[in-house]
Structure 1
């Protein structure tokens, strides 16, 4: 599904643990992994300096974690100095990475506006899909559990759908990945349409449940044409809450989302559904950046 992957870790996110599971990630179809750690420029004093001591320490730490790689997966280690987002984009381009994996703490929109986040900045500066993992999730897994998680990183995706441009783009990206994959790394999808009934009750609904189900049935048939097993459901309620509740009960590897507004002015005024899933979900979130028009 994704063969060239960049894993960006600040060590606090726990993603450097994945260096012990290279062979398991290979079973998910990955053929090249680049582990990247960005060391901030040392700004004590009048002139900023490269923090060579921390760079060497990070290189040693990652090399020890990777150890002797006996798998068929090519592993590279990059430790660079500078701004995290800038370096992630540069290294991803250099290695032609098809996916960026990074950790992100759960936070509110208000907090994100105040302090920013690498995930938020990357989401509107790259065309490369992002897989966002919670540090608490990675740290809680035993080695046995993490071995299985790495093997089935993309096996089953939950696709929120509501017939918008971003939802249709999301379905297209998943279909394309399934069609091109060399193996059955992506096997299952669950399409979930949440009819938002949280507004005024006297308003007529924009779409009836049976109409939504009919549309999902057509998409299901299309995805089944690329050898995916597909389930569908229609719910009513708050979209974010209902999708997270679906994730609790469904046997999924990640929630997949896309967004037309992340990084744009309207996102700062009213947070989008995808942005809230990225901020709130404890499940891995696979984010597909929406192309610029």
Structure 2
């Protein structure tokens, strides 16, 4: 589904472990992998400078971990000094990456606002999809488990849907990827529409369950046209809670979401479903930056 992948690691997120599973990632359709580590500038002194010693250490560590790559997969190691977001964007452009994989610690809104988030900054500076993975998840896998996870990285996606611009954009992006994939790396999608409880008697829902079912049936038929197995479900309750519950009960590789406001001022003014999924989900989240919300 994604042939050119940029894997960003700071060595505390566990993603450098993926360097041992290049062959397994190849079975997920990946043909080019770039491992990137960004070394902060040396801040001691008046003028910041490149920390050559740490760059050399990181290059050695990644190169030794990668070892000999399979002939059909091109692997590059990039260790650069600078600001993380700027460097990631530069390297992604240089290698024409179609997906950026990065780790993300669990944070609340206030913490993110105060200390920032690499993922949030990236999301409104690039249109490249991001696969956000919890460090605790990667670190806890045994080698056998991680081998299987890498092979089926995109096999089954949970797609939250509510007929918004972002949701429709998400469906179109997944349809495009499924149509273009040379094999069946993405096989299954679960479309889930959560009807939010109004919480007040006498106030009708904006969308009735029957309407939601009918809309999802149309989208299901559209996605089945690109050789995907699709199931649909309509639930009621809190959107984030119900989507996470659905992920728990279904055989899901990742939750797919899209948004155009993560990391922007609007997110502090209105609730962002995608941002909450990213903060709360222990499942990998495949995020598609959207120009509209």
TM-score in same-fold range (> 0.5)? yes
Match of 2:240 in 1: 240
* CA drift at 1:200: 2.7
Q: Is the 1:13–1:103 contact (alpha carbons within 8 Å) kept by the matching residues of 2? A: yes
1:190–1:292 Cα change, 3 Å = closer
**Superposition RMSD on alpha carbons, in Å?**
1.1
CA distance in 2, matches of 1:247, 1:54: 40
Name the TM-score, length of structure 1 as normaliser: 0.98
1:259 corresponds in structure 2 to 259
Is the contact between residue 132 and residue 285 of structure 1 (CA under 8 Å) also seen in structure 2? yes
Matches within 5 A, 1:97-116: 97-116=97-116
Q: In the TM superposition, what whole-angstrom CA distance separates every residue of 1:33-56 from its partner, at most 9, and x where no partner exists?
A: 000000000001112111000000
> Partner of 2:196 in structure 1?
196
Moved over 3 A (4+): none
Aligned to 1:65: 65
Cα distance in 2 for partners of 1:219, 1:227 equals 13
Q: Closer, same or farther in 2 for the Cα pair 1:71/1:271, shift >3 Å?
A: farther
Asked whether the 8 Å contact 1:22–1:71 carries over to 2, the reply is no
Preserved CA contact (<8 Å) 1:23 1:71: no
Q: Does the aligned pair in 2 maintain the 1:31–1:74 contact within 8 Å?
A: yes
- 2:259–2:274 contact (8 Å) kept in structure 1: yes
Q: Give, in angstroms, the shift of residue 258 of structure 1.
A: 0.3
Find the aligned partners of 1:217 and 1:211 in 2 and give their Cα distance: 10
Answer whether contact 2:198 2:205 (CA < 8 A) is retained: no
The separation in 2 between residues aligned to 1:79 and 1:25, in whole angstroms, is 21
The alpha carbon displacement at 1:71 in A equals: 4.3
CA distance in 2, matches of 1:71, 1:233: 43
Counterpart secondary structure, 2:256: strand
Partners of 1:15 and 1:102 within 8 A in 2:
yes
Return 90-99 or 192-201, whichever deviates more. Answer: 192-201
Report matched runs for 1:122-141 at 5 Å: 122-141=122-141
Whole-angstrom distance in 2 between the partners of 1:22 and 1:70:
8
Distance 1:292 1:237 in 2: 25
1:71-123 superposed Cα distances (whole Å, 9 cap, x missing partner): 41100000000000000000000000000000000110110001111111111
